[in-house]
Each structure stands twice: as C-alpha cells, then as structure tokens.
C-alpha cells in the first residue's frame, strides 16, 4: 500500500514523533510510505518532504472559513503527483478548509492527537478547570472566557464539523476518552493506542521515595498543583524527594521560581534533560506524577515510565486513567492539593508486593496494547476501509 503521512512539522512534540515512528513501522511492514511536513522547509533527501508553507495567524484564521487557493494548489499538486492509496493526517492544524479541499479526491484517515477538534482552547476544561465534553454539548460562551483566537476557532467549529463529516475522513483516536468526546460531537473514531517500540525492563525494587515529573513546566500540566501539594507530602514522608525535569512554559517562569524558592531541599529542578537522562530518572524514581489539569489524550511519558516498571500516579481525566488502570494511582485534580498529596502519600505506603503487582500489570498491558505490530495491524484495517 502506498501511504502518504501528512503533519505540520518534522520536529516539535509527540505528534511529530509519532508521525516519524509510523513511517518507519509501515515501511518495515512492506508499505511504500512518505512523510510530508507541510510547514517545515525541505530537509535531507529521503527523510521527509517539506513544503515550507508558512502560515501566519491571519492566514490560519482566514482558512478556517475559506480555502486559500495557493495552499490548495501547492498541496494538491504534490498529492496528485504521488497518487497515494491512502493519506494519513496527523497534526495539520493551521490549514483548515484548504486541507479539506486538497485531500478531497483521496482516501483519508486522520489521527486526532488532542482535544482541539472539540474545544477552541484545545484543553477540554472550562475556566473552573472542570472537564468538558466539547462544543456540541456544552456552551463555550458561558463556561469559558475565550480570547480572540479561540473566539475565531469557536465561530468556525460548526461548519468545520459539517465539512469533516461530508469529507468522509476515517478518524482514529489513541484513547477511548478522546474517541468518546469526538463521538459526542458527531465524529466517530476508531481507538488505536499509540505504539511503544522500546524494551520493557525487569522489575527492580525502589530504594528511595523519589517522585518525578517530566514534561512542560506549566500550570495546565499540573505543576503548580504538584508544588502546592508537596509540603504535605514532605511532612508525611521523611525521605521523599521531588525531581522536576523539563522546560518552563513562557509566562510561568517568575511564579515557578517563586514556588521553588519556598520548597526547600526536598525539591530539585533539573531543567530540560536529554533522552538518556530521562530514562535514568525513570529507573531511579519511585513514582512518575502526571497531574494534568487539562485533558491529556495519551501521554508518552506514562508509557516510558511504565516500560521501566515505574509506578505512575496521574489525573483522573483524559486518556490517563485507561493507561494507568489501578484506581489507587489516580487523583481527582478537582480536589486540589489535598487530594494529590493524599494520593502520593497513599502510594508511598504500598508494600513491595503491591507495587510490584501494579507495575507488572502496567507492563503486561503495554505488551498487549502498545506493541508495534499490533498498532500496524489495526492501522492497516482502518486504511483498508477508508
């Protein structure tokens, strides 16, 4: 099968990593596969095809309501020259109606990586941080104070939804939670969990109670909540330490420094670290904490920690609960710092056998649900019906 994968960028975040990985897996499975990055400039020959379509905020807003003929022409010409059996779209967020016009002659599958299809803010939480089922069933105008960009997105949602349905695109969601919320907005999606290609480690008992956060240092990722909860954790557990690794979100730097200054020696911030260092941190940690306020679809950090047989505590929203499974490791983030602190203290008091059983079950679930061959097989079945 000739597959053309479309994504905004070559390198940025999880969707970009996933698009590159999928291209490798499909090629290994015998398919002819090409990765096209619509915003990235042309790169090394054979690695990907870059169109270099620069999209300004004004152009993005306009394309939500009307196709740009020059964008349709450039993208359409490339697709026409390739004649793929199927186009698989990942994150192509800025081309709006231009994308729908360019792909209309082809069989198309799209993996939805986040909640931006159903929420103009992309978070699927309202101003009170309560989870939201999407624009079709909830009032964005009453529940959220939308900025100008989000207002434009919300104004386009109704027609964009109708156009997506009319286009006959087959949708894929990595989590059941996202599939359910898409379904509430009339977009049916097949659940295909993201693949994990690394090795799954053997279990080793943890010698310390080191709690770990890896990712963007941001309030919407729950970092403020985690730091506010930590004083109770440190007071209850004599040897508990918290390690944070990642870049700080713009606009949060001053508050983050202030919060850190009041934490004492039990909290360490490492900054952004490399992949090998992250793996070492997972292996040494007693627990990875994923306390996201906004809805996370299928965070890669959870899989990475579980592959090291490290316990994961996460928010009880988005796709996180179905990845974690055990209710003892889920926290109601609407319960605030007290609820998070109570959950961290509770898991710290698990016996070695209880800890071992939880991480073994997580590893077994990964082996079943996230095996690369299983991912390719499921994707091939969707491609065949596109």
* Residue bearing the bigger pLDDT, 345 or 151: 345
Number of compact structural domains in the chain: 2
Report pLDDT for 257: 94
On whether both 345 and 379 belong to a single domain, the answer is: no
On whether both 153 and 263 belong to a single domain, the answer is: no
Asked if the structure places residue 140 within a domain, the reply is yes
Tens of pLDDT, residue by residue over 306-351, are 999 999 999 999 999 999 999 999 999 999 999 999 999 999 999 9
On whether both 190 and 265 belong to a single domain, the answer is: no
Of 22, 76, 20, 77, nearest in space to 44 by CA = 20
| DSSP codes of every residue in 49-115 | EE------HHHHHHHTTS--HHHHHHHHHHHHHH--SEEEE----S-HHHHHHHHTTS-EEEE--SS
Asked if the structure places residue 138 within a domain, the reply is yes
pTM (2 d.p.)? 0.92
* Residue bearing the bigger pLDDT, 358 or 56: 358
Instruction: List residues bridging with 86 in a β-sheet.
Output: 3
On whether both 173 and 94 belong to a single domain, the answer is: yes
Asked whether residue 12 carries a pLDDT value surpassing 70, the answer given is no
Asked if the structure places residue 73 within a domain, the reply is yes
| DSSP codes of every residue in 213-240 | EES-B-GGGTHHHHHHHHHHHHHH-TT-
On whether both 362 and 378 belong to a single domain, the answer is: no
Report pLDDT for 138: 85
Asked if the structure places residue 204 within a domain, the reply is no
Q: How far apart are CA 314 and CA 103, in angstroms?
A: 38
Q: Taken in order 147, 152, 155, 159, is the CA torsion positive or negative?
A: negative
Asked if the structure places residue 276 within a domain, the reply is yes
Asked whether residue 373 carries a pLDDT value surpassing 70, the answer given is yes
On whether both 221 and 145 belong to a single domain, the answer is: no
How many C-beta neighbours within 10 Å does residue 236 have? 14
On whether both 345 and 380 belong to a single domain, the answer is: no
Report pLDDT for 139: 87
On whether both 246 and 187 belong to a single domain, the answer is: no
What domain range is 226 assigned to?
Answer: 210-369
Asked whether residue 208 carries a pLDDT value surpassing 90, the answer given is no
Asked if the structure places residue 186 within a domain, the reply is yes
Report pLDDT for 110: 96
On whether both 91 and 103 belong to a single domain, the answer is: yes
Tens of pLDDT, residue by residue over 253-310, are 999 999 999 888 999 999 999 989 999 999 999 999 999 999 999 999 999 999 999 9
Three-state DSSP at 25 gives: helix
On whether both 146 and 236 belong to a single domain, the answer is: no
On whether both 133 and 80 belong to a single domain, the answer is: yes
Asked if the structure places residue 202 within a domain, the reply is no
260: domain CATH number?
Answer: 3.40.50.2000
Asked if the structure places residue 72 within a domain, the reply is yes
Tens of pLDDT, residue by residue over 113-126, are 999 999 999 899 99
**Maximum Cα–Cα distance across the chain:** 65
On whether both 348 and 266 belong to a single domain, the answer is: yes
Two structure tokens written together for 220? 């919407």
What is the DSSP-derived secondary structure letter of residue 13?
S
How many C-beta neighbours within 10 Å does residue 247 have? 11
Tens of pLDDT, residue by residue over 230-249, are 999 999 998 999 999 999 99
Mean pLDDT of 82-93: 93
Tens of pLDDT, residue by residue over 153-191, are 898 888 998 999 999 999 999 999 999 999 999 999 999
């Amino acid at each position: 099968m000739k597959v053309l994968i479309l994504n905004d960028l070559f390198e940025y975040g999880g969707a970009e990593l996933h698009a590159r990985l999928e291209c490798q897996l499909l090629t290994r499975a015998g398919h002819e596969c090409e990765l096209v990055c619509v915003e990235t400039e042309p790169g090394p020959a054979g690695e990907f095809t870059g169109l270099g379509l620069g999209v300004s905020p004004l152009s993005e807003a306009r394309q939500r309501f009307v196709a740009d003929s020059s964008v349709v022409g450039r993208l359409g010409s490339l697709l026409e020259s390739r004649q793929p059996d199927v186009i698989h779209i990942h994150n192509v967020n800025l081309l709006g109606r231009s994308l729908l016009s360019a792909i209309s002659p082809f069989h198309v599958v799209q993996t939805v990586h986040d909640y931006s299809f159903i929420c103009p803010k992309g978070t699927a939480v309202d101003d009170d941080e309560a989870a939201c089922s999407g624009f079709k069933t909830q009032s964005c105008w009453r529940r959220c104070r939308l900025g100008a960009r989000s207002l434009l997105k919300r104004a386009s949602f109704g027609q964009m939804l109708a156009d997506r349905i009319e286009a006959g695109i087959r949708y894929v969601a990595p989590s059941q939670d996202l599939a359910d919320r898409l379904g509430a907005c009339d977009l049916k999606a097949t659940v295909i969990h993201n693949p994990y290609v690394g090795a799954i480690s053997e279990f080793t008992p943890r010698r310390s109670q080191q709690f770990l956060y890896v990712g963007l240092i941001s309030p919407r990722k729950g970092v403020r909540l985690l730091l506010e909860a930590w004083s109770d954790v440190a007071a209850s557990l004599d040897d508990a330490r918290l390690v944070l690794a990642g870049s700080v979100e713009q606009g949060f730097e001053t508050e983050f420094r202030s919060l850190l200054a009041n934490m004492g020696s039990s909290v360490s911030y490492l900054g952004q670290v490399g992949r090998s260092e992250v793996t070492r941190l997972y292996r040494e940690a007693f627990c990875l904490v994923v306390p996201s306020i906004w809805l996370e679809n299928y965070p890669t950090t959870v899989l990475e920690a579980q592959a090291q047989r490290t316990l994961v505590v996460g928010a009880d929203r988005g796709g996180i609960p179905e990845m974690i499974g055990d209710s003892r490791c889920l926290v109601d983030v609407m319960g605030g710092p007290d609820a998070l602190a109570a959950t961290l203290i509770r898991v710290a008091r698990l016996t070695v056998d209880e800890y071992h059983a939880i991480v073994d079950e997580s590893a077994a679930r990964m082996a079943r649900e996230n095996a690369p061959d299983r991912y390719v097989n499921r994707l091939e079945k969707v491609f065949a019906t596109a």
